[in-house]
Structure formats: structure tokens, C-alpha cells
Amino acid sequence: MEKQSERRREAEPKVFDRELEKLWQSIDGEKKRYATLPRVLKFNDVPWTQGAQAFHKYYIGPGPQWRLKQFPLFSMAVVEQLIPPGGKSGRHRHFMEALFYIMDGEGYEVHDNVKYPWEAGDVMMVPTYCVHQHFSTGNATARLFFNIPSVFEHLGIASIEQMELHPNYEIPPGAKAIRDASGTMVGYKTTEGMEIRFGFNQDLQKVMDEKKETGLSGKAKETSYDYYIKTLKEQTEFRLNVPHVIRAKDRPWENTRMGKIKYLVHPSTPSALLVYDCFVQEIPPGGKSGKHRHASEEVHKILDGKGYDIQDGVKWEWAKEDVVAIPTNVTHQHFNADPPGF
């Protein structure tokens, strides 16, 4: 019998990707970079700079360009802001919530046309997508230490709408101001020809206004989809009714496993924040906190005294005004270096 030839389909060429390998390399590179960064930033080593909102110190600035630039934290921008007596910040709006600890001075907020007074020791909170501006009314410069979560950057909604610049703002050298028909500066053109524009995002404003009108209507049987409609309505009402300032004098001190703590923002306490907690801790001279670790990152502003942290067995000294980073899953404990009875 004659052997019949059989035509077989040629195997398709293999196409390889190395995306996981690239990811592993990237993570390994971040770990190496992370290991070189300090856990304490000295106040005087971080410069004051002028921005559209006010004068700032950027311990960690906004945007991916600050990722592991000078501090081993991933999840937040960490900033300090000055507002002179009788002055005000720029007026703006963003999706990101923000937590402000009032270090010095007194003043008030205007959030969506509502006034909220504050003073040193208080916590002021900006909920998502809220037009806000800070005003200093005392005789001393107001100083605000604040955090903004970076998760909004990953969601693609970290833009800022700038409605008003702070009074001392200066455009870059050589830039030309862009003004509207009334003479108000609405942006500027750089020497390279790039245009920077301020103002509302009218399309986004329309979307946000329509959300307020969303709700369930009719007598149809509720479905699983209706859960999302109800949640949207609840979240809209939450944003309008939560406190925007928490007074330090209204919160109690507690003796906890970690030491003497006053919780200003806590899951059990209503606030305008969904991402952050905030507390003040006192450690007596010669004393120490409890020792623990957690998956969440943490940042401390040293209000007074001097001491050190032990983080995963490594000692990091700090003093008044310094900022301390506690990365994820790091075992840490805080020590007051002043002698007992100081």
C-alpha cells in the first residue's frame, strides 16, 4: 500500500512577554532605593517654596515624580503651609480628600461657601471635590501641616482646579500673564510657549451637579443595581453633613496600649475623611510608646521635645519640627530622650 503524505499545520511561532520580569526588576529597584532613604527629614533641610496655593515645604510633593524621591512612603503627599496674618491661600478644588493639622495661628476655612473656624491644635478636613480656601485671622502666621492620599493619582482623578491664586503669587520669570476681558489673570504663557490655565472644569462641574439629583424614583422592586444608587445618595449627603473641623479641646486623652493618645480623627468619630486617622501622642521624659507594626503607612510631625524611633532594630533620632516616616509593616517604637523629671 502506498503511504499517503499528510500535511500538518505549521506550529505558530511563540510570542513571549517579559512583563512580570520587568515588574520584578522594578520592585527590586524600588526596594534598593527605599533602603537608602532616611526615616527622618530635618525641618531645616527642606526649603520653603512658593506655589499657587501658598508657601510650602514639600516633604513629599504631589505626583509620581515624588515617589521615593526623599522619603520612603508611597501613599501620601506630606506638606507644610504658611499663611501670613490677614492672608489667605489660593482657592481651589480637587477630588482628593485632605487632612490639615493646625500647628500655629488661628483662622477659618470657606468650604463650598460655608465658613469653618479653626485654631492651633485643631484638625481641619477637606472632603472630596470641595471648593476650599484657608484664611489666617490672628496676629501670627498660620502654619498648617497636611497630608493628601496618593490613591487618587492611580485612579486618574488627581487634577486640581485653581479658581484663585494666593495674593503673593508670582508667575515664573519671563512668563507672560494671560488675562480675561475683565483684566483678571487666568493663566500665563511660559518662555517655552506652554500655556498654564486656571479655572473651573465646567464639564466636571456638570457631572458633579447631576450626581446631586440622582436618586430612586417610582415603585419598582429594588434590585441589586439600586444599591449603587442608594450608596451615591448616601455619600452625597455624608459629604454635606460631616464636620469639617474637629476641635482639639473637644477630644479626650486616652491611656492606650501605645501610650497617652488623643484621637482627633478615628473611624468611630464622624469626620469628613474616609482614608485617614489622626492623633496626638505625648511621651513623658525618659518614657517610650508601645511597640507595634501595621500595614498602613504613618507619618509623624514632632511638635515638641527630642527623642528617637527604633524601626526594625535601627535607631532614628528626631527633634522638634522634624518629620518621621513609618513605612508599611515596620516594627516601631518611639522614645523621649529627655531625662526623667525634665
Residues 178, 99 contacting (CB under 8 angstroms): no
- In this structure, whether the domain defined by 47-282 belongs to CATH 3.40.1410.10 is answered with no
pLDDT at 159: 84
- Domain positions in the chain are 47-282
- For cell 430612586, what's the residue? 216
Alpha-carbon span 185 to 162, nearest angstrom? 12
Ranges in the chain, pLDDT < 50: none
pLDDT at 192: 92
pLDDT at 232: 84
Whole-model pTM over 0.75: yes
pLDDT at 223: 87
pLDDT at 234: 85
Q: Tell me the torsion sign for CA atoms 84, 98, 61, 199.
A: negative
| Other Cβ atoms closer than 10 A to 192 | 7
pLDDT at 3: 59
pLDDT at 218: 57
Q: For residue 101, give Cα distances in angstroms to 123, 151, 272, 280.
A: 5, 20, 14, 10
pLDDT at 221: 67
